[in-house]
A = this chain, B = another copy of it.
């Protein structure tokens, strides 16, 4: 299972690394979670430089693509050099976006009429791109999922794991990262957020 977490210049650390951290709980089951970038290095919105684990082209054949968020997403959404390197296929791949990542899914034509979640700052731009933005942390239909608000990354990760490895695996991953003394309540809450969208997609 190859998972590309798209991480651009000016990225939001929470949005890429919460998802990566939770999804990497599946490393023992062979999941290969990779921070995937348009250049060899990218620097976060707060000045932390990281080295890409994979080039952008890794996303094309990944089983799951999760588009992270950042402060330059509006520029990236107009950058044909980057967009042209993203050949995603929502019929074969799970495609997810966190916060401003939703704007990229919109301009790539992947949302295709679906409503979506994003953060409050990005919301006007996603609306302007023709997408109905929901006032909720998470939404999914079929192979497409979006989340809004940094800490919602855990819901994206839980949904991906539940969809590909089952609900117990998702519960176990969230249990591990949850605060001590709040593990059961955190698992119950996360699963209550994503479960309605697992039923919908399972029935599809």
Contacts and interface: CB of A to CB of B under 8 A. Distances in A.
A198 B201 CA distance: 45
A10 to B, nearest CB: 13
Interface stretch (A107-115, A151-159, A160-168): A151-159
Interface residues of A, number: 46
Given A119-B180, A149-B177, A179-B152, A46 B27 contact: yes
Interface string A3-37: 00000000011100110111010010000010100
Given A21-B46, A117-B180, A180-B136, A151 B51 contact: no
Interface stretch (A55-63, A73-81, A86-94, A181-189): A181-189
This protein's copies in its complex = 2
Nearest to A135: B181
Given A177-B14, A180-B136, A150 B47 contact: no
21 contacts: A13-B17, A13-B20, A14-B21, A17-B17, A20-B48, A21-B46, A21-B150, A27-B46, A50-B50, A50-B51, A119-B180, A120-B180, A136-B181, A148-B181, A149-B177, A149-B179, A149-B181, A149-B182, A149-B183, A150-B176, A151-B154
